[in-house]
Structure 1
Amino acid sequence: MKINTYENRLLLILFLGFGFVFFDRLALSFLFPFVAAELKLNNTQLGLLSSTLALAWAISGATLGAYADKKESKKGLLVLSVIAFSLLSAASGMVTTFVSLLVFRAMMGIAEGPVLPISQSLIAEASTPSRRGLNMGLVNASAPGLIGAVLAPPVLIWMATHYGWRTAFYLSCIPGLIIAFLIWKFVQHKRGAHPSAGVDPETKRPSEYMALLKNRNILLCVLISCFYISWFITLISFTPTFLMTVKKFSPETMGSIMSSLGFAWMIWGFVVSALSDKIGRKPAMIIFSILASFCPMVLLYVNSASAMLPLVFLTYTGLGCFTLFMATIPAETVHPSQIASALGLIMGVGELFGGFVTPTIAGFAADQYGLSIVMWIASAGSVIATILTFFLKETAPSKVATQFQERHAI
């Protein structure tokens, strides 16, 4: 099998796999107005549901990501994870109380945690250097943007409106089970070339998390993850309810705006990563993080749905940056035997703070001071992430090679 053939096949399968992770993860956000009406839930409980899944995701991603690095093949764990989160998403349709829903979402977070670290470690090793940023961006950002944020809102809202929210959850498991079969059938795992460029040989094999954190880029990526995930989870969890209760938009209009966010997620997901292959990881992070800080303000201050649609598309650029700090930069910084560990650490700590702590605080604040405050919380997260980005060390192969040549010439 030619390497490009396998690279493209792997890209397609993992694109679908991580896309449906977010289809299932975000299903509750889109269906929450329907679920809340039947189960009598409030904004604090919505925050707790998002936070609990994120906490389970954080612990699972960090621990199972490190465990996967010790395995000869990561495929088996990936298959089991995809099957488990698909079945648990369907089980959310059976709940009758807040507590039972909370339990199923927590279990789903455990199943979903290792999917990204394993998928990105496979992509990093299989990708040719000139396409690495693009490939990782397609899996990390474009896939969940297209499947989880473009397709999911209209599909899930339509099913909930016509057949009930429980049926929407039940049917959500079918694509995941098909993808699990494709992973089992077609994905192989063999270590490729070292994806890093310009890594100090003495620091290539950190064996513990504390050793990983001694690397400046890894520490910065962990901190950026905390605040950027705060931006993302706060927006994605509360925006559907915000649009319907504060802006007084209809479910269909809310679905259209969420789909616009999804289109932005999908497009910027690969545009930012592809540009970073050319202009460098750091400049791309800075430019598009600044833009992302304006997205919550658009949702807060623009009252016309027709004006909001293009503006949220132009400012919802942060998910393109996720690929860089959560996957590409760490993959180009550490040894290949530690990629899943590093990615799991960055994702895990980020989910713990940004996905667990922040939505809980945001939900409580929304009940106390109104839903508008969540937009200020989200914006603050991306502003802090932007500031931290200025201290990153460049890792793009084209830029590192140029810097090496310039030093050699001097």
Structure 2
Amino acid sequence: MNEKSSQFRWFLAVLMFLISFISYMDRVNLSVATPEIMKEFSFSKMDMGLLQTAFFVGYSLMQIPGGIMSELFGHRVVITVAATFWSIFTALTATCNSLHMFAVVRTLFGIGEGPLAPSFSRFVYRWFSADEKARGTSFLLGGVFFGPVVGPAATVALMLAFGWRSVFIIFGAIGIILAIAWYYFATESPRTNKFVNTAEAAHIEGDSVEATQPQKELAPWKSFLTSSQFWAIGIQFFITDYIMYVFLAWLPLYLMEAQKFSLQKMGIAASFPWAALCLVTFATGYFSDKLIVGGASKYKVRTLSGVIGLSICCVALYLGAVATTPAMNVFWLTISLGSLGLTFNAGWAACIDLGGKFSGSVSGWMNFWGNLGGVAAPTLTAWIATNYGWQSAIITTSAFAIVGIVAWFLVRPERPLVPKTGGRNVACFSEKEAVSNT
């Protein structure tokens, strides 16, 4: 009865962090290699914007199907297949020799990576107790945002040593290794995992029947689509992701063209905003769980956190656009992107609060909208920068944050989209959550 918990869920959280890290390294690599690719193939900014958009078309289309697949087939299988698929096409990027070939490979890469985020949301739902969900989510987001921290410098180093093609081959191989590791270590339920003892399984799942005999069922989409907060959680993420993808797609080239950084200095400067985003995301996950355990409402912890993050981002991004020195520009860009850690963590945690056992579908819906922002951001930003200059492109991005702030006020995480049921439902209907919702 006094058995010490095995804590294996945190090992899987680290593995989730690594897979997310590699997935975003694969995206950052194209952004950092953009100057070399543009030079070798005589591509324009619009060409590169279209290649970024090609990825997001495939990625966006797989968000809702990815969430549904995670609920029907389980996160173990879906994540393993997705990671293997996108890693293959990451490596194949090195073989591209035309704009059309780049576009096809990047679209297929996006399709492969699409199911990842909603499937990991489902994993957090199944593997973390009610007062650990924000911290569990922070490992997913932390990996996502840590990729761009080390990505620019690591990619530049590999490019200088072996050429830009080596980057995609190396990271494609690493992705396949991590996919195999996920299949070996992860299971759908903690109770069926050989590395999890009874104490840890009880901590996560209690005595829920659903935990031991999970049912496969489709989310009530008709009900979801009539909910204003279901639409609001998507709209706010469209704006949040739009801003983030402007950084992801164009920060390296922006620093070199508008701020006159060399390739080596850009590799360092471009990592600062992502480091801030990574740190704020982990801090938000830790403190938001503590606040909820302490009795704070989910509205205050999730919704207001989302609003504050976008508000700071809006102001800091504008100040970065009008900064008169490269150092101040990087400083305000760091504050701007870092503040989105508040919003990102709030959004993904709110999906679990709202969706419960259908968190995969709700997360897929939110991320679908977010990556429509990813579809728009590279090309629209390239068009504005080409016709009106980089300052206008950054100021326009700042103004979009206002729409996301308004949408966040319609999100009420303490009001789940699915009705509560009796007993202790492991993921969204625990007694602790019932207390925090009052």
TM range (shorter): 0.7 to 0.9
Shift of 1:208: 4.3
Q: TM-score, normalised by structure 2?
A: 0.83
Q: Is the 8 A contact 1:53 1:108 kept in 2?
A: yes
2:61 counterpart (59, 62, 76)? 59
Q: Give 5+ residue unaligned stretches, structure 2.
A: 191-203, 207-216, 416-429
Q: Is the 8 A contact 2:75 2:122 kept in 1?
A: no
Q: Is the 8 A contact 2:71 2:218 kept in 1?
A: no
What are the within-5 Å matches in structure 2 for residues 338-349 of structure 1? 338-349=358-369
Matched, 1:162 2:161: yes
The C-alpha deviation readout for 1:285-305, integer Å capped at 9, x for no partner, is 122221111343244223434
User: For the structure 1 residues 58 and 80, does the alpha-carbon distance in structure 2 shift closer, same or farther, using more than 3 Å as the test?
Assistant: same
Partner of 1:230: 242
Partner of 2:424: none
User: For the structure 1 residues 311 and 400, does the alpha-carbon distance in structure 2 shift closer, same or farther, using more than 3 Å as the test?
Assistant: farther
Partner of 2:312: 291
Q: Is the 8 A contact 1:124 1:136 kept in 2?
A: no
Shift of 1:35: 0.9
Shift of 1:74: 2.7
| Equivalent-residue separation in structure 2 for 1:208 and 1:251 (angstroms) | 50
1:373 counterpart (392, 400, 405)? 392
Secondary structure at 2:7 match in 1: helix
| Equivalent-residue separation in structure 2 for 1:156 and 1:367 (angstroms) | 26
Shift of 1:244: 0.7
Partner of 1:318: 340
Partner of 2:274: 262
Partner of 1:5: 7
Matched, 1:145 2:145: yes
Shift of 1:216: 3.4
Q: Is the 8 A contact 2:259 2:326 kept in 1?
A: no
Partner of 2:354: 333
How large is the Cα RMSD of the aligned pairs?
2.3
Shift of 1:260: 0.2
| Equivalent-residue separation in structure 1 for 2:270 and 2:343 (angstroms) | 19
Matched, 1:181 2:180: yes
Greater Cα offset, 267-276 or 153-162: 267-276
Secondary structure at 2:79 match in 1: helix
Partner of 1:201: none
Shift of 1:309: 4.1
Shift of 1:399: 8.2
Shift of 1:10: 1.6
Structure 1 residue identity aligned to 2:143: A
| Equivalent-residue separation in structure 1 for 2:47 and 2:316 (angstroms) | 25
Matched, 1:250 2:262: yes
Partner of 2:42: 40
Matched, 1:388 2:407: yes
Q: Is the 8 A contact 1:281 1:395 kept in 2?
A: no
User: For the structure 1 residues 384 and 3, does the alpha-carbon distance in structure 2 shift closer, same or farther, using more than 3 Å as the test?
Assistant: farther
After TM superposition, what 4+ stretches of structure 1 lie above 4 angstroms from structure 2? 1-4, 191-194, 396-400
Secondary structure at 2:355 match in 1: coil
User: For the structure 1 residues 364 and 311, does the alpha-carbon distance in structure 2 shift closer, same or farther, using more than 3 Å as the test?
Assistant: closer
Greater Cα offset, 130-139 or 311-320: 311-320
Partner of 2:83: 82
Shift of 1:217: 2.8
